[in-house]
Amino acid sequence: MTEEIIIAGFGGQGVLSMGKILAYSGIMQDQEVSWMPSYGPEMRGGTANVTVILSDDRINSPILNEFDTAIVLNQQSMDKFESMVKPGGLLLYDPNGISHHPKRKDITIATIEAVKEATLINRKTFNMVVMGAFLKVHPIVKMDNIHRGLKKSLPERHHHLIPLNEEAIKKGMAKVQIIHKV
Amino acid sequence: MTEAVITPEEIIKRGKIVFKKTKNMLDKTLSYCPGCGHGVAHRLVMEVIEEMGITEDTIGVAPVGCSVLAYEFMNIDMQQAAHGRAPAVATGIKRVLPEKYVFTYQGDGDLAAIGTAETIHACNRGENIVIIFINNGIYGMTGGQMAPTTLQGMKSSTSPYGRVVETMGYPLKITEMVAMLPGVAYATRQAVHEAKYVRKAKRAIRKAFENQKDKKGTSIVEIVSNCNSGWKMTPVDSNKWLEENMLAYFPLGDIKK
Amino acid sequence: MEDVKLMKGNEAMAEAAIRAGADAYFGYPITPQSEVIEYLMMEKPENRTGMQVLQAESEVAAINMVYGAAACGKRVMTSSSSPGISLKLEGISYMAGSELPCLIANVMRGGPGLGTIQPGQADYFQAVKGGGHGDYRLIVLAPSTVQEMADFVDLGFELAFKYRNPVMILSDGAIGQMMEKVFLPDQKERLTDKEVINKYGSWATTGKPESRERNIITSLNLKSEVQENHNFHLQKKYKSIEENEIRYEAIQCDDAEYIMVAFGTSARICQKVIQLGRDKGLKLGLLRPITLWPFPKQIINKLADTSKGFLSVEMNAGQMIEDVQLAVNGKAPVSHYGRMGGMIPSPSDVLVAVEKELKKIG
């Protein structure tokens, strides 16, 4: 199994750390992983994206131009990545702030009101709500591996926040909506 | 008539020994011009190292300039550095061998022009090293070009009509500059063109190495020297010119102690 | 499983330096490799192994600190990115001339000039053809995974000391910045001065005991005859490196009808291209040089007997292609595909280029 994912949004939304938790969770289930960020001054405030690959085999290119899944968290990213989802793939997005919704019919499209849901828990768990939504549609990592992944990727002083993060993941799983399925 | 032939060995045997060359200087003819101050400065540094009993624990760094071949004459472990980089090289040595003694031996072009950044930052870090800085106001090795310490109006091959400060800048007092840095433990200016100065210079060099022993930080000993070839003078005239002109702008004595 | 980590290439390299028993690191920040010194400063290796870390005032100072410490027989490392490496070249030439072992990492970005902070591979010529002045060679290792970023640190030090020659890890911003799973090696002990002498001989400047002649580290020989002899000695050493240290990986070359040659990030992309190509029935292979110098000439020449052609895929205007052409020696057509200025070619871009070349060959 190989899952090639792009996560794209604004800097500060937790795009990179969500990718890191996914990658660590992959390691916990003995998979090969890669995490390739866009880097540079645009990281703060501007757009940020990260390509995450989880695979049972050796990962070839960490840089891709088509993806099994695109997780899109702002309009710029929607404009850029909608066309890069492989036919039959998944596009997951938060409709908050999206004015031009995706039009493709050959991919699965799902939404998660992550801003809204996260506000009810803790705004900083936004990215975990999104991750929960993704894992509901594509259950590529097991919940206990996510738990271990969270433990590995968060510094120890933040370990007390793990239950909060897991609550957010479950919230995302519960609230994700499939708009279009192929 | 027979001529009485006395060999040098015979003379030494008959007389009382008042001076002995340090074993830290090799039996090699110095490559410096007759009359140049480098030879005395070399000897003083090597004598201090022998007298302190640190020969086996000392690593020297030679620069680019007339003293590029200093390691040919000094009988200790030495490295030759790229132009101006001796304080960085010495930093590298001292960081991995903190218990050893490390010194650089640099000229004015090396230390105060191309190596200004390395000089200032080694001093600012308070690297526990000794910097011996020979200031003769000129680039000797490359044939008498203008140095950062060339005096106003002084002629050199690249200031053939004399140094014009408006376009060529002022002679740089870098020892005063680094003396203000908290990392510098000791900054002094000495000379070696007369016996009275030589004795003082040696005491200053000793103090610098003692500072290193006591881990006090950077010590810089500037030695105002002549360059009779570069200045196009006889050795005697060059010493006189040094006394009258160089020492007027670069006064001798401790700047920070 | 405790030593499996998810790390950036830059961090993996820094951690590997501590574990390789490095004595010192001297560096200066520059994107995209500042994580190396940041990681080391955070990690406090002085407490772990006694390794020294210092942020120099410039790349120029850093490489000269490396010179000074390496001349004491120590395992010393520096890292930078393209513009910073240009500044270090003076010192690198001096170290090659003085025969000093050291490890230099270049996490390349797009150039020329200040260029971009995005990944590039345009320093190939600089790394393998000299860069600095004089006839010298660096052993150049090209990692293409985060694991290799870690593994090549110890390998680099071993080669550097074996041949008393600077070794360069030629990486790029993509590998430096990306995270992958990495198995970290065990901690190696730092060598004492005595162990260095026993293992590598007594050439270092650590203070002259009565029992030996003084050691001098210099690249200067004012007598041309002596300097030429020194050059002959260096060339002999380089020849021996060429005979013994070539490393490469041949991926699906056995039945390949067309072969891509690529290193580092480009080699990763080409592995995807093989997959995409083979899905379409194109028998593609990849020859990945691991040592860029010495360059794997013989294997490429041998592959030219069976391959219809070669495509040198590089993030530059075409640099390694010259070595590929020399290796192929006219046996098959050699073309180049590249992006520049921080642009990374996508797998499908490369596949299009491959298909175009195959069409030409017919």
DSSP string for residues in A37-58: E--SGGGSSSEEEEEEEEESS-
Rounded to the nearest 5 degrees, what angle is found at the Cα of C50, between the Cα atoms of C45 and C52? Answer: 70
- Token pair of C360, please? 């030409």
Sign of the Cα torsion C198, C203, C207, C212 reads positive
Model confidence over C229-241: pLDDT tens digits? 999 999 999 999 9
| Dihedral, CA of residue B58, residue B63, residue B65 and residue B67, to nearest 10 | 10
- The CA distance from C206 to A36, in Å, is 44
- Over range C198-212, report the average pLDDT: 96
Model confidence over B3-59: pLDDT tens digits? 677 888 888 788 888 888 999 999 999 999 999 999 999 999 999 999 999 999 999
Identify which of C116, C115, C112 has the alpha carbon closest to the alpha carbon of residue C126: C112
Predicted local confidence at residue C114, as pLDDT: 94
Sign of the Cα torsion B160, B165, B167, B172 reads positive
- The CA distance from C219 to C263, in Å, is 32
Strand pairing class (B101-107; B58-62)? parallel
Chain C window 84-123: which residues touch B at a Cβ cutoff of 8 Å? Answer: 90-91, 94, 98
Instruction: Please state whether A45 falls in left (phi above 0), alpha (psi between -120 and 50) or beta.
Output: left
Predicted local confidence at residue B3, as pLDDT: 66
Chain C contact for A25, CB < 8 A?
no
pLDDT above 60 for C290: yes
**Residues forming a β-bridge with C217:** B79
Are residues A29 and A145 in contact, defined by beta-carbon separation less than 8 angstroms? yes
Predicted local confidence at residue C1, as pLDDT: 46
Strand pairing class (C291-293; C139-141)? antiparallel
CB contact under 8 A, C178 and A35: yes
Intervals of chain B under pLDDT 70: 1-3
Q: Which residues of chain C lie closer than 8 angstroms to A6, CB-CB?
A: none
Strand pairing class (C102-108; C284-289)? unpaired
Average pLDDT, chain C: 97
**Distance (Å) from the C-alpha of residue B242 to the closest C-alpha of chain C?**
31
- The CA distance from C106 to C125, in Å, is 13
Chain B window 111-150: which residues touch C at a Cβ cutoff of 8 Å? Answer: 117-118, 120-121
Distances (CA, A) of C62 to A159, B116, C152, C204, C284: 39, 15, 21, 19, 43
Total beta-carbon pairs less than 8 A apart between chain A and chain C: 73
* Residue of chain A minimizing CA distance to C343: A63
Q: What band does C120 get if pLDDT is binned at 50, 70 and 90? A: very high
Chain A contact for C3, CB < 8 A?
no
- Over range C329-358, report the average pLDDT: 96
**Distance (Å) from the C-alpha of residue C199 to the closest C-alpha of chain A?**
38
* pTM (2 d.p.): 0.94
Chain C window 220-239: which residues touch A at a Cβ cutoff of 8 Å? Answer: none
- The CA distance from A84 to C347, in Å, is 13
Q: Which of C32, C180, C275 sits opposite A60 (nearest CB)?
A: C275
Predicted local confidence at residue A44, as pLDDT: 52
CB contact under 8 A, C208 and B68: no
Structural domains of chain B ordered from first start? 32-256 (3.40.50.970)
- The CA distance from C360 to B179, in Å, is 71
Predicted local confidence at residue B19, as pLDDT: 85
Are residues A58 and A170 in contact, defined by beta-carbon separation less than 8 angstroms? no
Chain B contact for C57, CB < 8 A?
yes
CB contact under 8 A, C205 and B92: no
- Token pair of C142, please? 């090209």
Chain B contact for C66, CB < 8 A?
yes
DSSP assignment of B98-141, as one string?
A: TTSEEEEEEEHHIIIIITHHHHHHHHHTT-S-EEEEEE-SEETT
- The CA distance from B179 to B169, in Å, is 21
- The values of phi and psi at residue B220, to 5°, are -120, 125
**Residues forming a β-bridge with C26:** C54
Chain A contact for C173, CB < 8 A?
yes
Q: Which residues of chain C lie closer than 8 angstroms to A32, CB-CB?
A: 180-181
pLDDT above 60 for A42: no
Chain B contact for C219, CB < 8 A?
yes
Q: Which residues of chain A lie closer than 8 angstroms to C270, CB-CB?
A: 61
Predicted local confidence at residue B10, as pLDDT: 84
Q: Which residues of chain C lie closer than 8 angstroms to A24, CB-CB?
A: 6
CB contact under 8 A, B56 and C24: no
* Residue of chain C minimizing CA distance to B121: C57
Predicted local confidence at residue B76, as pLDDT: 98
**Distance (Å) from the C-alpha of residue B164 to the closest C-alpha of chain C?**
31
Side chain identity, residue B30: L
Q: Which of C57, C67, C205 sits opposite B77 (nearest CB)?
A: C205
Predicted local confidence at residue C130, as pLDDT: 85
**Residues forming a β-bridge with A170:** none
Maximum Cα–Cα distance for chain A, whole Å? 45
The CATH number of A2-180, from 3.20.20.140, 3.40.920.10, 3.90.870.30, 1.10.3720.10, is 3.40.920.10
Q: List chain A domain ranges.
A: 2-180
Distances (CA, A) of C118 to B130, C173, C177: 42, 6, 10
Rounded to the nearest 5 degrees, what angle is found at the Cα of B84, between the Cα atoms of B79 and B90? Answer: 40
Q: Which residues of chain C lie closer than 8 angstroms to B103, CB-CB?
A: none
- Over range C61-82, report the average pLDDT: 98
Model confidence over A99-125: pLDDT tens digits? 999 999 999 999 999 999 999 999 999
Residues 6 or more apart from C188 whose CB is under 8 A from it?
C19, C20, C21, C154
DSSP assignment of B77-104, as one string?
A: EEEE--TT-HHHHHHHHHHH-TTSEEEE
CB contact under 8 A, C174 and A153: no
Chain C contact for B61, CB < 8 A?
yes
pLDDT above 60 for A43: no
Structural domains of chain C ordered from first start? 4-183 (3.40.50.970), 248-361 (3.40.50.920)
Q: Which of C173, C180, C347 sits opposite A33 (nearest CB)?
A: C180
Are residues B214 and B208 in contact, defined by beta-carbon separation less than 8 angstroms? no
Chain C contact for B77, CB < 8 A?
yes
Give the E-state strand segments of chain C in sequence order: 4-8, 24-27, 52-55, 76-80, 102-108, 139-141, 166-172, 179-183, 216-217, 248-251, 258-261, 284-289, 291-293, 310-314, 334-338
Please, what's the b/e burial string for C33-54 (b: 16 or more CB within 10 A of its CB; e: otherwise)?
A: bbbbbbbbeebebeeebebbbb
Predicted local confidence at residue A12, as pLDDT: 85
- The CA distance from A19 to C6, in Å, is 11
Please, what's the b/e burial string for B97-120 (b: 16 or more CB within 10 A of its CB; e: otherwise)?
A: beebbbbbbbbbbbbbbbbbbbbb
What is the three-class DSSP state of C179? strand
Lowest mean pLDDT among A4-13, B193-202, C75-84: A4-13
Q: What is the ipTM of this complex?
A: 0.95
Chain C contact for B71, CB < 8 A?
yes
Are residues C167 and C104 in contact, defined by beta-carbon separation less than 8 angstroms? yes
- The CA distance from A69 to A66, in Å, is 9
Predicted local confidence at residue A11, as pLDDT: 83
* Residue of chain C minimizing CA distance to B102: C207
Model confidence over A136-175: pLDDT tens digits? 999 999 999 999 999 988 889 999 999 999 999 999 999 9
- The values of phi and psi at residue C245, to 5°, are -120, 15
Predicted local confidence at residue B165, as pLDDT: 96
pLDDT above 80 for A83: yes
